[in-house]
C-alpha cells in the first residue's frame, strides 16, 4: 500500500488524511466523499515554484484548473503565487468569484465563444492562448471594439508525441488543437498576429500530452520551439518573450507508475531552454508551465461505502460502492488504474481479489479491476487514492446521482469546499412546460 502526502494508518487501523480519521469524515459528511489533502497540494505548488526559482529564469506556474476547478482550489493557487488556466466561462467565473487576480489568468481552448472572449476581455485577464485563425481574427476584432490591446500566446503543435494513452495525446500533428509547426501554419499565424493591431504577441505555447514520465518529450518540445523562435526572429524580426510548455507531468496512481520528482521536470525544461536560446544569442524567455494533474491528483482520495457484492464463481467477484462513473469516469473513459484500501480496516490481511463496481446503470461502470482486499462487508469504507484530478471536474449526474461533497483536510480540521448536491439541486433546472404538467403537479 502506498500512502500519499499526510495519509497514514492510525492506531485504530483507520486511514487518516490531514490529521482526520476517514471513518469520522464518512460519519460527518457522508459518502461518497472527495477528500483533499491541502498540505500536499501546497507542497506540490511549492515544488514547482522553488524549482523554477532555482533556475534563475523568469517564470509563471499556471495551475490548469480544469483538473479540479472549485473556488477553494483557486484560493490556494492564489495564495501559493500560481497563475491559473481556464478553458471556459465557467472556469473563468469560478476563478474570478474566488477573487483570483485576473492578470494571472490565461484563457485556453480551441473554440472560445464570442461571449467567453468578451467576458475575459471585460475582466482584463492576463493572456489568451490563441488556438486557431478564426479565434485570432475574432479576438482582435472584439478587443478593438473595446479599445483594448491583449496579450496572446499562440498554441503550436510541435509534432512531439508524448508516451501516453492515445486519448490524451495532443502534441502530435493529428490534433484538434493549435497551429501546426511542421506544415508552416504556425509560421503563418505569427505573421498574422503581428499584423493585428489589437494583439500583443508574447510568444508560443506547446502542450505535448498528459501523465508523462520522462523528460525527453519536454526537451524535444523545447528544441522544436527554440528552433522556431530563432527562425521567426531571423526571418520576421519577432522575438518571443514567453515560452509556455504546457502541463502533462505524471503522477503515481499505481505501483509501476514512475513519475520523476517535479524538480527534475523543471530542471530538464529550464536547462534545455538555457542551452538552446543561449546558443542562438536569444534573450532568455520567461518560462510558463501548466500543471494540472500533478498539482492535485495525488492529494485527492475518494471515500465510498461498500454495498452489495456478486460472486461469479470462476469469473470474478464484484463489490459495489455507493458512487462510480458519476464521480470518477476515468476507468470508463481510459481504463485508468487506481489503488484502494478498506479505510476502516486498513491493517486487515488481504484475502481476496475483487472488482470494484459503481451503482450506475452501465456495465462499464467500474472503478478498479482485480483489487486485493480483505473480505469487504456491506458498510465498510473503501478509499480510492489519487482522485484529486479529473474526478470531481469530470463528475456528472448520470442516473440523477447527486455529486459528492468535497472536503479539504489539514492539521485535523475538515472543511467543506463543495457541498453535496441535494435532491432539489438535481431538479433545480427542470421546468415542466404547462401543457405537460400532470394533474397532480397542477
Ligand X SMILES: *Cc1c(COP(=O)(O)O)cnc(C)c1O
Residues that bind ligand X (CB under 6 A): 64, 66-67, 85, 108, 207, 210, 246-249, 290-294, 389
- Rounded to whole angstroms, the Cα distance separating 203 from 321 reads 48
CB 252 within 8 A of CB 259: yes
Query: Among all residues, which ones are annotated catalytic?
Result: 361
Among residues 29 and 213, whose Cβ is nearest to ligand X? 213
The burial of 174, by beta-carbon neighbours within 10 Å (0-12 exposed, 13-18 middle, 19 or more buried), is given as exposed
Q: Which three cell numbers stand for residue 103?
A: 492578470
CB of 247 to ligand X, least distance (A): 3
Taking the complex as a whole, how short is the minimal distance between the CB of residue 83 and ligand X, in angstroms? 12
d(C-alpha 258, C-alpha 251), whole Å: 8
Q: Is 78 annotated in some ligand binding site?
A: no
**256 marked ligand binding residue:** no
Q: Is 200 known as a binding-site position?
A: no
Integer Cα distance of 244 and 62 in angstroms: 10
Residue 255 counted as an annotated binding residue: no
The distance of closest approach from Cβ of residue 280 to ligand X in the complex, given in angstroms and rounded to an integer, is: 26
The answer on whether 248 is annotated among ligand-binding residues is yes
For residue 165, give the 3-state DSSP assignment: coil
335 is in an annotated binding site: no
Please, which residue, 190 or 389, has the CB nearer to ligand X?
Answer: 389
Q: Which residue has the cell 484563457?
A: 107
Q: Which is nearer to ligand X, 32 or 292 (CB)?
A: 292
Q: Which residues contact 308 (CB under 8 A, 6 or more apart)?
A: 320, 378
Beta carbon nearer to ligand X, 248 or 285? 248
Cβ-based nearer residue to ligand X, 270 or 294: 294
Cβ 180 vs Cβ 228: under 8 Å: no
> At its nearest, how many Å lie between ligand X and the CB of residue 417?
19
N- to C-terminal Cα distance for the chain? 57
Contact between 427 and 397 under an 8 Å Cβ cutoff? The reply is: no
Task: Dig out the grid coordinates for 12 from the structure.
Answer: 485504530
Contact 17, 302 (CB under 8 A): no
Minimum CB separation of residue 393 from ligand X in Å reads 10
- Using the minimum distance from each CB to ligand X, give the nearer residue, 249 or 277: 249
398 is in an annotated binding site: no
390 annotated as a binding-site residue: yes
Three state DSSP letters for 265-309: HHHHHHHHHHHHHHHCCCCCCEEEECCCHHHHHHHEEEEEEEEEE
Least distance to ligand X, CB of residue 164, Å? 9
List 156's β-bridge partners, or say none: 179
Q: Shortest approach of ligand X to residue 108 CB, angstroms?
A: 5
Rounded Cα distance, 344 and 31, in Å = 13
Q: Sign (positive/negative) of CA torsion 229, 233, 236, 238?
A: positive
Q: Confirm if 103 and 78 have CB atoms less than 8 A apart.
A: no
Q: Angle at CA 78, nearest 5°, toward 74 and 83?
A: 90
User: Measured between alpha carbons, how far is 289 from 180 in angstroms, rounded to an integer?
Assistant: 20
| 330 among annotated binding-site residues | yes
Q: Which is nearer to ligand X, 239 or 393 (CB)?
A: 393
Please name the residue that has the C-alpha cell 442516473: 399
- From the annotation, which residues make up the binding site for substrate? 293, 330, 334, 362, 390
- From the annotation, which residues make up the binding site for pyridoxal 5'-phosphate? 248, 290-293, 390
- From the annotation, which residues make up the binding site? 248, 290-293, 330, 334, 362, 390
Amino acid at each position: 500500500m502506498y500512502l500519499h502526502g499526510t495519509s497514514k494508518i492510525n492506531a485504530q487501523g483507520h486511514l487518516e488524511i490531514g490529521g482526520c480519521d476517514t471513518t469520522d469524515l464518512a460519519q460527518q459528511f457522508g459518502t461518497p466523499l472527495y477528500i483533499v489533502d491541502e498540505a500536499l497540494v501546497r507542497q506540490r505548488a511549492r515544488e514547482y515554484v522553488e524549482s523554477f526559482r532555482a533556475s534563475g529564469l523568469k517564470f509563471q506556474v499556471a495551475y490548469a484548473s480544469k483538473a479540479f476547478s472549485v473556488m477553494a482550489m483557486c484560493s490556494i493557487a492564489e495564495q501559493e503565487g500560481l497563475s491559473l488556466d481556464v478553458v471556459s466561462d465557467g472556469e473563468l467565473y469560478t476563478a474570478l468569484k474566488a477573487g483570483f487576480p485576473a492578470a494571472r489568468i490565461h484563457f485556453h481552448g480551441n473554440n472560445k465563444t464570442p461571449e467567453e472572449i468578451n467576458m475575459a476581455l471585460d475582466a482584463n485577464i492576463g493572456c489568451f492562448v490563441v488556438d486557431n485563425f478564426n479565434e485570432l481574427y475574432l479576438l482582435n476584432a472584439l478587443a478593438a471594439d473595446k479599445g483594448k490591446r491583449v496579450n496572446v500566446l499562440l498554441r503550436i503543435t510541435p509534432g512531439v508525441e508524448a508516451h501516453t494513452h492515445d486519448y490524451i495525446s495532443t502534441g502530435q500533428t493529428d490534433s484538434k488543437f493549435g497551429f501546426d509547426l511542421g506544415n508552416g501554419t504556425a509560421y503563418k499565424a505569427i505573421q498574422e498576429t503581428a499584423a493585428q493591431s489589437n494583439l500583443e504577441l508574447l510568444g508560443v505555447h506547446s502542450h505535448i500530452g498528459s501523465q508523462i514520465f520522462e523528460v525527453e518529450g519536454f526537451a524535444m518540445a523545447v528544441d522544436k520551439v527554440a528552433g522556431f523562435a530563432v527562425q521567426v526572429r531571423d526571418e520576421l524580426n519577432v522575438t518571443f518573450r514567453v515560452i509556455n510548455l504546457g502541463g502533462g507531468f505524471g503522477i503515481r496512481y499505481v505501483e509501476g507508475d514512475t513519475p520523476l520528482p517535479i524538480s527534475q521536470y523543471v530542471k530538464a525544461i529550464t536547462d534545455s531552454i538555457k542551452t538552446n536560446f543561449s546558443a542562438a544569442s536569444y534573450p532568455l524567455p520567461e518560462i510558463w508551465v501548466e500543471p494540472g494533474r500533478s498539482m492535485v491528483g495525488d492529494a485527492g482520495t475518494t471515500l465510498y461505502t461498500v454495498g452489495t457484492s456478486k460472486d461469479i464463481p470462476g469469473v470474478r467477484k464484484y463489490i459495489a460502492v455507493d458512487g462510480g462513473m458519476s464521480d470518477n469516469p476515468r476507468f470508463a473513459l481510459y481504463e485508468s488504474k487506481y489503488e484502494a484500501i478498506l479505510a476502516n480496516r486498513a491493517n486487515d490481511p488481504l484475502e481476496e481479489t475483487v472488482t470494484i463496481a459503481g451503482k450506475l446503470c452501465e456495465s462499464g461502470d467500474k472503478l478498479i479491476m482485480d483489487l486485493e482486499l480483505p473480505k469487504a462487508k456491506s458498510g465498510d469504507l473503501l478509499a480510492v487514492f489519487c482522485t484529486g484530478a479529473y474526478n470531481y471536474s469530470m463528475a456528472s449526474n448520470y442516473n440523477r446521482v447527486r455529486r459528492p461533497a468535497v472536503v479539504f483536510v489539514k492539521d485535523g480540521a475538515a472543511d467543506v469546499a463543495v457541498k453535496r448536491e441535494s435532491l432539489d439541486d438535481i431538479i433545480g433546472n427542470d421546468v415542466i412546460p404547462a401543457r405537460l404538467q400532470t394533474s397532480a403537479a397542477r
